[in-house]
Amino acid sequence: MEMPLYSEIIYERPSVDEFRELAMRTRLRLMTSKDITLIESSLAEFQKQLSHFYTAQSICHLRHDQNTNDAFFSDELSFFEENEPIVKDLTAAVYSVLISSEIAPMLMNRFGKMIFLKAKYQKESVSPEVITELSEEAALENRYEQILADAQIDFSGKKYNLSMMKPFLESSYRDERKRAAQAVSDFFSSILPETDKIFDDLVRLRTSIARKLSYSSFVELGYKRMERFDYTEADVEEFRRSILRYIVPLTVEIRRLQTKRLEVDELKYFDLPVLFPRGNPRPAVDINEYPVCTGEMFRALFEKDPSFFDVLREHGYTDIVSRKMKAAGAYCMTLLDYGIPFVFMNASGTSEDVSTIIHESGHAYASIRSVDSSPFIECLFPTLEVCEIHSTALEFLSYPYIELFFKANAEAYRDQHMTEALLFLPYGCMVDEFQHRIYHEPDMTYTQRHSVWKALEGKYQPFIDYDGNEFFESGSAWIRQSHIFSDPFYYIDYCLAQIVSLQLWDYSRTKPADALVKYDHICREGGNKTFFEILRSAGLESPFSPDVIKRIAYVTAEYLRL
């Protein structure tokens, strides 16, 4: 099939009635037939429609995010808010017949065990009596995203969105970055009452959904939704303890050295993003040249011409540079019907643009490599820690080619990237612990929630000095973290992936070709194995092991000369 241009892809609202009918027919076939060929073709037809629904949803999200002013796609988003829970419930009902079928062992032989594991978790995450609440949950999440997308920040006589403020937050002029940080925190202060309320509604809703599904709290349901097949809340707790023990001391040292380097008496919150006295390294290529440069980098890394990124770019599947009325954030979204990923982000001219474009490209690469790995769309992708290895590991494996973007500043970029990788780990754990606390005690008041965050900052970021900024001092910084609103319990996956990716980086320093083979292996696996199984098959160690974290702390500290 000729690859279509993104601009040629037509959006059409899927019919939920037809989907419902098909789901019923498929259920009936699964209940009555023992003919495996018949079951297979029936499931294939069901999969085709399911893929169709999610492809339409992805196109809708993309087109909305590319222009949040477009009223048509804003309306269509509400259609999916309402109907995705219905489709999920119908799908879970189909698969629940599959797993309880008399010939389940034979089917498992044919399709592999992952769809059975996933079906079980799906069934335990949804039921007809929570569908309305699931729609309300989606609507609240979209509301939060909309507030961030609408942000208009007054700065030096001009208006900016949040992504566009990044270069000012990293300014090498202390006064400028201080004013920028103040302007951004003023914006968040202004939305605080509404976001507090949205979050409170979300916590109540999620808790109510969990209880209706017979869980004691949303934590259990959150883990089910995240498809945690091989680790528990206790394992995650131990992981956070190891980060506290081995990584936090390194970050304290990083901040001490930063204070010296910047020649300031005290490192204030607005100094944190600036690691080098003359400012962080900026890409040497023009912001509009990023896509071409990225394509070139992957040609060199994967020794393939054109690279996968060149092909995506040439067909319009990338939207890289920030502009007004474009939704915030960065992601890679696969259009399942076409098997083509789309890379969306908001480049603003900072070094983070480069790590982000590589990160999202890693998701895109994996999506392409695993496009035929399963007959079930549910099993094309692994669980999210593994997806984040696809992306994060590529950031490290690209180190030898980063000169393409930064020329003489490449070394500074690598230093900054590695430093931020370490600084991220305690932050990620803090976001995770915060959510555990919140959902274990869903009745906390707004103020209590803010106090929890403040205490966690003391634990994981002991160096932080908010210089009397009221918004931050009151423990409100978490309202900036969209995952806390939209993707509960996702955040620790970034930390787990970071530790695995750092193993791959360490390995790549002596055996770059082998490291790339391991990386490619992980990408090709798709979602046919669990997290631990994929790690084992690639010869990598569990990030939950305190010894692994200790070793990573040692090699990264050495690399950064800490």
For CA atoms 152, 156, 157, 163, the dihedral sign is negative
- Smaller CB separation from Zn ion, 162 or 332: 332
Q: Is 147 helix (H, G, I), strand (E, B) or coil?
A: helix
Give me the residue whose beta carbon is nearest to Zn ion.
391
Strand order of the sheet with strand 318-321?
Answer: 318-321, 340-347, 331-335
As given in the structure block, the two tokens for residue 14 are: 């899927």
How far from the centroid of its chain's Cα atoms is residue 215's Cα?
26
The C-alpha atoms of residue 495 and residue 428 are separated, in whole angstroms, by 6
What SS3 string covers 335-377?
ECCCCEEEEEEEECCCHHHHHHHHHHHHHHHHHHHCCCCCCCH
Of 93-101, 319-327, 391-399, 553-561, the segment contacting Zn ion by CB under 5 A is: 391-399
* Cβ at position 185, least distance to Zn ion in Å: 26
- Smaller CB separation from Zn ion, 171 or 391: 391
How far separated are the first and last CA of the chain, in Å rounded?
53
- Smaller CB separation from Zn ion, 218 or 342: 342
Q: Which residue, among 549, 562, 555, has the nearest Cα to 245 in the 3D structure?
A: 549
- Smaller CB separation from Zn ion, 346 or 391: 391
* Cβ at position 8, least distance to Zn ion in Å: 27
Q: Helix, strand, coil: what percent of the chain each, to 5?
A: 70, 5, 25
Of 107-115, 143-151, 389-397, 476-484, the segment contacting Zn ion by CB under 5 A is: 389-397
- Smaller CB separation from Zn ion, 308 or 471: 308
As given in the structure block, the two tokens for residue 187 are: 């914006």
Q: Which residue, among 398, 374, 211, 418, has the nearest Cα to 299 in the 3D structure?
A: 398
Residue 339 gets the label, from left (phi > 0), alpha (psi -120 to 50) or beta, of left
CB-count exposure of residue 408 (10 Å: 0-12, 13-18, 19+): exposed
CB-count exposure of residue 443 (10 Å: 0-12, 13-18, 19+): exposed
The C-alpha atoms of residue 270 and residue 371 are separated, in whole angstroms, by 43
* Cβ at position 496, least distance to Zn ion in Å: 12
H helices present in 104-173, as ranges:
104-111, 114-123, 131-149, 166-169
Using CB under 5 A, count the residues that bind Zn ion: 1
Whether a cis peptide bond, with omega within 30° of 0, leads into 341 is: no
- Compose the 153-182 pattern: x for residues touching Zn ion by CB under 5 A, - for all others: ------------------------------
* Cβ at position 534, least distance to Zn ion in Å: 16
- Smaller CB separation from Zn ion, 80 or 381: 381
Of 189-197, 390-398, 448-456, 526-534, the segment contacting Zn ion by CB under 5 A is: 390-398
> Which residue type is seen at 347?
A
The C-alpha atoms of residue 514 and residue 524 are separated, in whole angstroms, by 15
* Cβ at position 96, least distance to Zn ion in Å: 31
- Smaller CB separation from Zn ion, 89 or 525: 525
- Smaller CB separation from Zn ion, 182 or 482: 482
* Cβ at position 331, least distance to Zn ion in Å: 7
The answer to whether 391 contacts Zn ion (rule: CB under 5 A) is yes
- Smaller CB separation from Zn ion, 134 or 496: 496
* Cβ at position 362, least distance to Zn ion in Å: 8
Residue 305 gets which letter from DSSP?
Answer: S
Strand partners of residue 158 = 155
- Smaller CB separation from Zn ion, 210 or 431: 431
- Smaller CB separation from Zn ion, 351 or 501: 501
Q: Is 54 helix (H, G, I), strand (E, B) or coil?
A: helix
- Smaller CB separation from Zn ion, 27 or 417: 417
Of 47-55, 100-108, 218-226, 388-396, the segment contacting Zn ion by CB under 5 A is: 388-396
Residue 35 gets which letter from DSSP?
Answer: -
- Checking 509-513 for CB contacts under 8 A at 24+ apart, the result is 512/397, 512/400
* Cβ at position 392, least distance to Zn ion in Å: 7
The answer to whether 501 contacts Zn ion (rule: CB under 5 A) is no
Place of tokens 């009596």: 129
The answer to whether 142 contacts Zn ion (rule: CB under 5 A) is no
Q: Is 321 helix (H, G, I), strand (E, B) or coil?
A: strand
- Smaller CB separation from Zn ion, 210 or 345: 345
- Smaller CB separation from Zn ion, 227 or 271: 227
* Cβ at position 316, least distance to Zn ion in Å: 22
* Cβ at position 501, least distance to Zn ion in Å: 11
Q: Which chain residues interact with Zn ion by CB under 5 A?
A: 391
